[in-house]
Structure 1
């Protein structure tokens, strides 16, 4: 597992860690049952506070993406496919909201946007 943090990004470090791990789980890079680095080791490797890494792991656990086992470590949980689908669905909704906002700024009508989506969706199916 590869993680990196930027101290100058303006985004909290715990959130950077959380999002990177979450993306690796959702993309399948991290598999169910895989052991994550210990909170201390991750903090040491990234040269950040243990509290910061703990917060990232705690939030991942609250989302059901990882499970902490006392004395053994933190593992990628057996999140069912429906949970992963729901997370991806919410992310897609956010992207669609952004596209709608941009299309309105461009002055596109709903029909023009739907036509564009239909064309692009058709191209994807052909590829």
Structure 2
């Protein structure tokens, strides 16, 4: 599992970790029941504080992406398809919101945006 941190990013370090692990889970790179490094091991490998690693793991656990089993470690949750679908829809909505705002600022009609989206969706 490779996590790349950027000092120039506007996101806090724990959010960078959280978003990259979420992306790995959603893409299938990390599969249900895959073991994750301990918080200490993650902190050591990324040269960050254990508190920062803990914050990232707490967020991932709260959102249902990982689970910690006492005495055994931290693992990717055995997620159901509905949860992953919902998370993907949320990401799509964020991106579409940006597209709509850009389209409005550029004076592009809704029908044109729909046409462009349809072309991309069909792959033409």
Hey, what does 2:29 align to over in structure 1? 29
Hey, what does 1:60 align to over in structure 2? 60
Q: Which runs of 5+ in 1 are unaligned?
A: none
What is the TM-score with the length of structure 1 in the denominator?
0.93
Find the residue that maps to 2:68 and give its secondary structure: strand
What is the TM-score with the length of structure 2 in the denominator?
0.95
Hey, what does 1:96 align to over in structure 2? 96
Find the residue that maps to 1:33 and give its secondary structure: coil
Q: Matched residues in 2 for 1:121 and 1:58: separation?
A: 36
- Report the Cα offset of residue 19 of structure 1: 0.5
Alignment of 1:1-127 (within 5 A): 1-122=1-122, 124=123
Q: Matched residues in 1 for 2:6 and 2:121: separation?
A: 36
Q: Matched residues in 2 for 1:12 and 1:118: separation?
A: 36
Q: Matched residues in 2 for 1:14 and 1:104: separation?
A: 34
- Report the Cα offset of residue 111 of structure 1: 1.5
Q: Which runs of 5+ in 2 are unaligned?
A: none
Across the aligned residues of Structure 1 and Structure 2, the Cα RMSD in angstroms comes to 1.1
Runs of 4+ in 1 over 6 A off after TM superposition: none
